[in-house]
Amino acid sequence: MTDQPGPRTAALEAEEVDDPLTDQQGCGRVYQRLEVCLGEHNRDWRACQKEVQDLQACYKKAIEVDKAISNGCGASS
């Protein structure tokens, strides 16, 4: 009596990624790669350090761009 679903595939995990904030930041694809890696490694983030670092770098870049845009808008006053 095992009606439990089988393990989720990495492709299914990637398709379920629908985070507007992540996409708004421009990091949606990087996040999807991390989710795929986590799915392939039983959610063990230690096995996905490259993807974790890529996502951190993407967010850092997005923050820097946001700051530059904010500073540029305030400079014209």
Q: What is the pLDDT of residues 3-19, one digit of tens each?
A: 444 455 545 444 555 66
Q: What is the pLDDT of residues 23-42, one digit of tens each?
A: 767 899 999 999 999 999 99
Distance of alpha carbon 65 from alpha carbon 61, whole angstroms? 6
Q: Which of 5, 8, 6 is nearest to 38 (CA)?
A: 8
**Long-range contacts: 40-45, Cβ < 8 Å, 24+?**
40/10
Q: Taking residues 62-68, what's their average pLDDT?
A: 91
Taking a C-beta distance cutoff of 8 angstroms, is the pair 77, 52 a contact? Answer: no
Sequence spans of domains, the chain: 21-75
Pure H helices in the chain: 10-15, 20-24, 28-40, 49-75
Mean pLDDT in the chain? 79
